[in-house]
Amino acid sequence: MIDFTVRISIFLVVFSSLMTWQWLAPRGPLLQWKQRWRHNLILLMLGSLCVRLFQPLLLSLVALSNQDTGWLSQLGLPFWSIVIISVLLLDGLIYWQHRLFHRVPLLWRLHRVHHSDPELDVSSAIRFHPVEIVLSLCIKASAVWVFGIPVEAVLIFDVLLNASAMFNHTNVRLSPRLEKWVKVLVVTPDMHRIHHSRVSEEANSNYGFFLSIWDAFFRSKRNQALQGDAALNIGMPGTTKYQPATLIDILVMPLKTFKKSRKSE
């Protein structure tokens, strides 16, 4: 119960803080925020009904049941180093999971719900199809079990992942000097914005949510948009421009086939 309360409290504080930041100093105008926020918040509630309320408990139970027999426990390292290694392992896993959801057609059908948002702000971080959330939970639970990741690391990573995802979707811009240094380690809003481009070559880059080191190491990092930031169009890559009009449209998107657009590829 304490674990759940901590997660929810931090989520609400970070979400409201970033929302205030983008309201006071927006990167650019948001012209469709009313409909988008309605859809994104409903998706958050649906996701919560599926797993978000149970995810902390499930991952914690998995962690507690195998933390003494998993791979990490056999290393004989101090606990603090096990926690750091665990966070790095989980973040690397999420990086490759994200790449997989872009590359495997069936998984992309689910993930394109996230990319169908025509604008980016802090609410975009919670725009995921419920089925994708369930699959992501299963992948993380499997890693926690195999490696014997301690429950403390699960809590720390979950907080970091949610906070960083909200941060890099926020409609703000860091100063050029700060941007230069921050994105060496952490994914920034300008960096992740490129990933939401309708141009496939740009969308298939900058997969990280928390640490940017994975994109740099695996050569998927892109620092600038191909045609410059001003020409960057947000939305689903590789298809004709599409925006779901209703919540039902969003939920059935994985079942739809969209016409490819040469301009967006």
Instruction: State the pLDDT at residue 4.
Output: 59
Q: Measured between alpha carbons, how far is 262 from 165 in angstroms, rounded to an integer?
A: 30
Question: Tokens 């809003």 appear where?
Answer: 189
Region of 76 please: left (phi>0), alpha (psi -120 to 50) or beta: left
Q: Measured between alpha carbons, how far is 62 from 124 in angstroms, rounded to an integer?
A: 29
Other CB atoms within a 10 A radius of the CB of residue 131 amount to: 16
Instruction: State the pLDDT at residue 68.
Output: 64
Per-residue pLDDT at 50 exceeds 60: no
User: Of 89, 60, 80, nearest to 155 (Cα)?
Assistant: 60
Listed in sequence order, the DSSP H helices in 52-150 are 55-66, 79-103, 105-115, 130-147
pLDDT digits (tens, 9 = 90+) for 177-194: 999 999 999 999 999 999
Q: Measured between alpha carbons, how far is 17 from 20 in angstroms, rounded to an integer?
A: 5
Residue pair 153/90 in contact (Cβ under 8 Å)? The answer is yes
pLDDT digits (tens, 9 = 90+) for 12-39: 899 899 989 999 998 888 877 777 888 8
pLDDT digits (tens, 9 = 90+) for 140-158: 888 888 888 888 888 899 8
Residue ranges per domain, the chain?
2-264
Name the band, by pLDDT with cuts 50, 70 and 90, for residue 265: very low
